[in-house]
Copies of this chain bind each other. A is one copy, B any other.
Amino acid sequence: MNTDYLKEASRIFKLLSNETRLKMLVNLEDKAISVNELSALLDIEQSAVSHQLSILKKHQLVDTNRIGKSIYYRLDDPHILDIVNEAVQHSSHVIRGKKHGE
């Protein structure tokens, strides 16, 4: 069985598995935001924000452009949020279902 596509999928899931990165992506849904703005918005220090953004950028989930002295990040492919929504649906589904335990 060829499972190369699963390696790719796990790469994407790894990107989405970090809450900070998820928050960034969700916030970027409908507008571009600068590094400092994100840092303030998420209450995470500038350097950490920058590191995480660079990961997202390296994997082409976001893109940048400079305006004045700030650098604005935006979603490169909004489809990525569909995946997030699927996961959110799944979790609300599980929570309602309460299959096991409690």
Contact = CB atoms under 8 A, between A and B. Distances in A.
Category for how many chain A residues contact B = 35 or more
Overall SS of chain A's interface: helix
Interface of A: 3, 5-14, 16-19, 22-23, 26, 60, 63, 76-77, 79-80, 82-84, 86-88, 90-95, 97, 99-100
Contact of A87 (B9, B95, B100): B9
Contacts of A8: 87-88, 91, 95
A60 B100 CA distance: 8
A3 B17 contact: no
A13 B17 contact: yes
B7 A19 contact: yes
